[in-house]
Structure 1
């Protein structure tokens, strides 16, 4: 059993879905999905390829509109809310492909991300020096995520793992209540995986994290709750020890062993 499994869950649900479903031209991609994501906890969404994980992410962040069901963020119904407003309400996501500005430095990338919450994103007439007031917060984010040694490096020159950490830093600049991470460990070597897993664990002490992840060792190590999808439906949910012992989960990942 992982160390996180024994912890008592925070009772505050910050993101929930009930009866969530999505159809595409007669094909049901997601069906009757219920989720509760808690503050200061890491919740994993796992399943074999084609299980509907990314579709669920897109529904929760409103990149897709649900065919049916209800989504609540911090107690507010966001089922019909546009994705930009959902982000401003505190639900922020990363993507499988790193989305940083390669020719800007690490510090500059974080300062760009800080412009919106600080009211500078549309004030293009202001001098560049107006961004200097963001430096203290940017430096603090870099320090929190171990990026200070790379503050003046171009993002393009970072290792793949450090680029993913920088992406997490830019999402944290928006001060989210709920952070959604889409396969944060994809393509990483073991050393980077350990580093990023530790950062995610630390990030989750102050906010909820919902992550799609294929690395089950990471899921076992850092996740408090696991929801398993197959063909768009939940087949198991609970701590990692519970879901990994479920025969339906074993069949979904390894096929029929008969």
Structure 2
């Protein structure tokens, strides 16, 4: 495994009672890149994410991160190594302020997340860092609002800020633009490009225009196996990929140039 590769899977496989959800996937994610995992519904993308973060245990195969075999490690160990996942459904605390949400994530990173009896003042030292993270995702002016008052797109931006608070080396983004209008999609797309400038991003994403405009490398899964891999220009012209998407998704694939 070269220094250029931050994450690698070797013949990664997951079976559920005879059904092969992920089959012999060999993935190489380059350090400092945006790598997209795409494919039709049921292709195994989310299962693959669950294997990488150890929410599921592989049936066979290996996962290597930063040169270490992490196949047998717990989710907590993997998170401590810097593999941090942002979930498909927005997972912020709705009745805490935007600032407090990021502060909770910073506490978690400091290992003090369960010390709820500490005085409010003792957490003030985290405010500057929390505000700096909010500025990174253009939410600093919303710091005093409760999270429930944010638009859906800004909630996802807040979720990215809380993910950044965990100091990820590799950010796993699960459908970051799902359910968004065009304006929010564009905001999150620009945000992903911005945060990827100093770290690696692996994302599952359905929106082909997002993938086409920001992903350096795309891996296409079909029925749990790798169908194609490469830059968007190459993958979008692959006959097997076009056939796999068919119908409306195929139109999306062509329309994303």
Taking structure 1 as the reference length, what is the TM-score of the superposition? 0.93
Are residue 201 (structure 1) and residue 193 (structure 2) matched?
A: yes
| Cα RMSD for the two superposed structures | 1.3
1:123 deviation in Å?
A: 3.1
- How far, CA to CA, are the matches of 2:116 and 2:99 in structure 1? 19
More helix by share: 2
* Partner residue, 2:99: 107
Taking structure 2 as the reference length, what is the TM-score of the superposition? 0.94
* Partner residue, 1:87: 79
Equivalent residue for 2:132, pick from 137, 140, 150: 140
The number of equivalent residue pairs is 247
- How far, CA to CA, are the matches of 1:91 and 1:15 in structure 2? 10
* Partner residue, 1:17: 9
1:78 deviation in Å?
A: 0.6
Name stretches of at least 5 consecutive residues in structure 1 with no aligned partner: 1-9
> Quick one: higher RCO (CA 8 Å, sep 6+), 1 or 2?
1
SS in 2 for 1:116: helix
SS in 2 for 1:134: helix
* Partner residue, 2:162: 170
Are residue 218 (structure 1) and residue 210 (structure 2) matched?
A: yes
* Partner residue, 1:153: 145
1:234 deviation in Å?
A: 0.4
* Partner residue, 1:183: 175
1:120 deviation in Å?
A: 2.0
Name stretches of at least 5 consecutive residues in structure 2 with no aligned partner: 251-257
- How far, CA to CA, are the matches of 2:231 and 2:16 in structure 1? 31
SS in 1 for 2:198: coil
1:185 deviation in Å?
A: 0.5
Q: Per-residue CA shift, 1:115-174, capped at 9, x if unaligned?
A: 022232233442121111101110100111100111011100100000000000001000
